[in-house]
Amino acid sequence: MVASPSGSGEWPAEPGRYRLVASLACPWAHRSIIVRRLMGLEDAISLGIVDPLQDDRSWRFSLDDGGVDPVLGYHYLEEAYLARDPVDGIENGVSVPAIVDVPSGRLVTNDFPNITIDLGREWSAYQRAGAPTLYPDELRDEIDEVADGVFHDVNNGVYKAGFATSQARYEEAYTALFARLDALDERLQDRRYLVGDHITEADIRLFTTLARFDAVYHGHFKANRQKLAEFDALWAYARDLYQTPGFGDTVDFDHIKRHYYMVQTTINPTQVVPLGPDPSAWLTRHHREELGGSPFGPDGTPPAPLPGPLRPLGPIDM
């Protein structure tokens, strides 16, 4: 991971200078897409979407015309990594999200936990009117505490279970995952959001895993004690977020399922992609507004509707 907080001066807030490269399939990258949209930073930081399928050079821009990112001029994200460090640039792999300096074409950071915090704090001068405060000072300790448990047992926990190579490791991850989900379900019985009365970093970090749970993790990663849709508060909470502008309109179930089922061939060697579950369930009533609170804070407003799809409409290899 290349850690370069914007406060360090390596990528000072400067509209038009950077490109966020992300995958709609990746939960870690999905966080940054949500925050960029909630903050209204579309005109300040451009967005490049990679193909959900990878080859031996990892993330590629094959959905764009000619297979070339129209801003960076790259075929592969690894080119930004190598522009930063031609010798060891891809030694630790090529990951998303990635912030790329457009003038130089160099990777600035792929530090996914701090990218979202920086977009919410360091770029405040360029945020839209009515943008929520996602990491308020008075709630920071509680957000960090909740997010830490979510990271270890849920965000990363599904991967620990899915890629376990022994029964003992799998059972350990499985047990921790569902213990944490049970605790979150209990926490959300009488509160609309994880911390405070509006959306924070904690909710964004949990949502991207929940959005993939029934479509991928339940079957593909053997996280199958129960589906998300079989939880009480947690499923209603997830639907509440999904129906909030900035969340559901950034979810792409097609990219999600194709990536996991077609790329991770050690788990799914046939590369057969399931047709379900039916995404219309995400639009059913949740009644979470009865708990009070407001998604964007007392003075906040929703982001404007998306003018079109987030992703290029080029072909996806089968």
Q: Of the residues 18, 74, 126, 159, which is catalytic?
A: 159
CB–CB of 47/73 below 8 Å?
Answer: no
CA 203 to chain centroid, in Å, comes to 11
If DSSP codes are grouped into helix, strand and coil, which group holds residue 31?
Answer: helix
Residue 232 CB burial class (10 angstroms; 0-12, 13-18, ≥19): exposed
Whose CA is closest to 167, among 222, 113, 217, 218? 222
Query: What's the DSSP call for residue 99?
Result: E
Whose CA is closest to 158, among 243, 74, 215? 215
Dmax over Cα atoms in the chain, in whole Å? 56
Whose CA is closest to 218, among 208, 228, 203? 228
Backbone angles phi and psi of 167, in degrees to 5? -60, -40
- Report the C-alpha gap between 159 and 217 in whole angstroms: 8
| Encoded tokens for 274 | 């399931």
Find where tokens 């709630």 sit: 139
Q: Of the residues 18, 26, 135, 193, which is catalytic?
A: 26
| Encoded tokens for 184 | 């979150």
> Is 159 known to be catalytic?
yes
> Is 26 known to be catalytic?
yes
Backbone angles phi and psi of 264, in degrees to 5? -85, 75
Active site residues: 26, 159
